[in-house]
Structure 1
Amino acid sequence: MEEELSSSSNSRSGARKKKIVVVNGVELKLKYCRTCKIFRPPRSCHCVVCDNCVEKFDHHCPWIGQCIALRNYRFYLTFIISALSFFFYVLYFSCWRIHQKVVKNGSNLFGLVRICPETLALVLFTVAAIMFLTGLAIFHLYLISTNQTAYENFRQRFVGSKSPYDKGVCGNIKEVLFVGMPPSKVDFRAEATSRSWHPTAAATHEV
């Protein structure tokens, strides 16, 4: 539960407003983003690659070219599980083909390198991919069970103190995987205004 506690401003000094919200009894200070000109919601971060603030930012994934965050985290987990299942499938049939070659030709390991080098290379690649994806899946299962994002874990945001977002293992799993998806804060069907595309509008952004 989030509640705005206080806000203040100093127009003479030009200081930005400061806001503090209370999340489950813990006070959190909201950071002001000078690029997006907004107070970042709790757990948000400005992605330097996408150049916008992202709600419940987990990380920017270079493999799919976008941020993993609140509204697509479940799809990212599905992607990891699907990829892991695919590589297990490939590994199984690659090993089956190698077994067939061994039975048919009576080859040893060095003979297999000559007979089916592409299959051996595929097995090595698949094993490496499975090891990487398994570690990634285990890491995200840990994050889900503790209701953390990868960004919060790397920055060690709540080391030595209880996270205000931790609701217990069952509560965390329910919130991350089964709570209804919130709507986007950007209406992509809204009518564009002159300010949204005018080149001088971008020049007003602070650097």
Structure 2
Amino acid sequence: MSAVMITRKVRKWEKLPGKNTFCCDGRVMMARQKGVFYLTLFLIVGTCSLFFAFECPYLAVHLSPTIPVFAIVLFLFVLAMLLRTSFSDPGVLPRALQEEATFIEMEIEAANGNVPAGQRPPPRIRNVQINNQIVKLKYCYTCKIFRPPRASHCSICDNCVDRFDHHCPWVGNCVGKRNYRYFYLFTLSLSLLTIYIFTFDIVHVVMRSVDNGFLNTLKETPGTVLEVLVCFFTLWSVVGLTGFHTYLLSLNQTTNEDIKGSWSGKNRVQNPYSHKNIIKNCCEVLCGPTYPSVLDRRGLTQEDLPVPVASAAPSSSSSSSSPVPQTTHAVLCLQKTKAPLIPNKRTPDDAKPSIAASAQKSPSPKEENPPAPKAPPLASPEMDVETSINKDKTH
């Protein structure tokens, strides 16, 4: 068996390293661990469905028809921000190619010099200046690159993410440079939706309790009780998360920088990315330009695939194994023997000279031996009949 290399074109997302999953031919990019994301989607859709089924019909008639309309608009906005955050590229940085990684390694070795045996080599760090502030760029041993400022390597997705904030299992993706604004709008709108549903759940119970009593109202509307419990326990976490990210937004700071204390350590280094103005910081994050993806997930690349091919058998074995047709075999036998044809009475007169000439030119193999006595030709029955007729005419 031998192999033949065949080149075919594939999408780049099929060859990207890391632990992400892709859907819709690379248009959707998520983390592999998506169980909590499905739980988030179920809680939002389930709670809103109960609200639309139990509270909205009653509140639209007895209070205002704009209540369900605003709830639908808010629900669709929350769903759109969630899917936009979960299905987008957070700002993953491509890994270095083999030639680039080799060149970077040579540069590092040349800069560090020869390290004596037993000594630890110096850390791979580069210093850049941003707003008169020295910022260190760390080397990623997995991606083989010097990470840009504010980038970090996500251990769950196994990728370097630009302006890495954190990996959020509730949205099933990392939160970075390209989807942070959608994440913040998702948490903000979800907080408003939770407060909205929780408030009108209480209003619905109070209005029904005036006529039917509190206990009878709880028995008649079990969905309302379930909504109140879900909203009560999720309200504190969602509102608290929104308040924390509002604080980070006002300082133009990420969750990763806040946890590590990058700008509030012992040295009291100031944040070089802050504009010292809350409005400017918020506008930069929420209203800044939309950065394109640098992965080119749907681009085309070539891939070589080995295809096994069966080797050809020897010619002798193939010729012996393949049967020869009967007609071909008969023709070959005639060509080998080349026996002269004897003309008879039925042979046409035009063919007799050619047959006689061919018989003289191609002697049979038996002529090579000593000549044997020729036997007299046998008379055919037709010749006997003609002879007897001639004799009768003579007499």
Same fold (TM over 0.5): yes
CA distance in 2, matches of 1:192, 1:142: 44
Which segment is superposed worse, 176-185 or 110-119? 110-119
CA distance in 2, matches of 1:106, 1:40: 64
Of residues 199, 202, 211 in structure 2, which corresponds to 1:104?
Answer: 211
Q: Which has the higher contact order (CA 8 A, sep 6+)?
A: 2
Of residues 299, 302, 318 in structure 2, which corresponds to 1:190?
Answer: 299
1:72 aligns with 2:183: no
Asked if structure 2 preserves the Cα contact closer than 8 Å seen for 1:24 and 1:164, the reply is yes
Identify the residue that residue 39 of structure 1 maps to in structure 2. 146
1:9 aligns with 2:108: yes
- Give CA deviations for 1:137-166 in whole Å, capped at 9, x if unaligned: 111111011110011111111112211111
Which segment is superposed worse, 94-103 or 136-145? 94-103
Asked if structure 2 preserves the Cα contact closer than 8 Å seen for 1:21 and 1:29, the reply is yes
Asked if structure 1 preserves the Cα contact closer than 8 Å seen for 2:124 and 2:138, the reply is no
Of residues 102, 106, 120 in structure 1, which corresponds to 2:225?
Answer: 120
**Cα distance, 1:117 vs structure 2:** 4.6
Please report the TM-score for the alignment, with normalisation by the length of structure 1: 0.80
Identify the residue that residue 205 of structure 1 maps to in structure 2. none
**How many aligned residue pairs are there?**
188
Please report the TM-score for the alignment, with normalisation by the length of structure 2: 0.44
Identify unmatched segments of 5+ residues in structure 1. 1-7, 198-207
Asked if structure 2 preserves the Cα contact closer than 8 Å seen for 1:47 and 1:60, the reply is yes
**Cα distance, 1:115 vs structure 2:** 4.9
**Cα distance, 1:98 vs structure 2:** 1.0
CA distance in 1, matches of 2:258, 2:224: 39
Percent identity of paired positions between Structure 1 and Structure 2: 36
Letter in 1 for 2:301: A
Identify unmatched segments of 5+ residues in structure 2. 1-106, 116-120, 306-395
Of residues 238, 241, 252 in structure 2, which corresponds to 1:136?
Answer: 241
**Cα distance, 1:175 vs structure 2:** 1.4
Asked if structure 2 preserves the Cα contact closer than 8 Å seen for 1:10 and 1:17, the reply is no
CA distance in 1, matches of 2:135, 2:177: 19
Bigger Cα Rg: 2
CA distance in 2, matches of 1:164, 1:36: 26
**Cα distance, 1:46 vs structure 2:** 0.5
Which segment is superposed worse, 137-146 or 162-171? 162-171
**Cα distance, 1:135 vs structure 2:** 1.2
**Cα distance, 1:116 vs structure 2:** 4.0
Aligned in 2, Cα 1:157/1:120: closer, same or farther, shift over 3 Å?
A: same
**Cα distance, 1:82 vs structure 2:** 2.2
Which segment is superposed worse, 70-79 or 117-126? 117-126
CA distance in 2, matches of 1:18, 1:186: 25
Identify the residue that residue 164 of structure 1 maps to in structure 2. 272
Identify the residue that residue 59 of structure 1 maps to in structure 2. 166
SS in 2 for 1:194: strand
1:180 aligns with 2:289: yes
Query: Which has the larger helix fraction?
Result: 2
SS in 2 for 1:93: helix
SS in 1 for 2:108: strand
Query: Which has the larger strand fraction?
Result: 1
CA distance in 1, matches of 2:108, 2:164: 27
SS in 2 for 1:21: strand
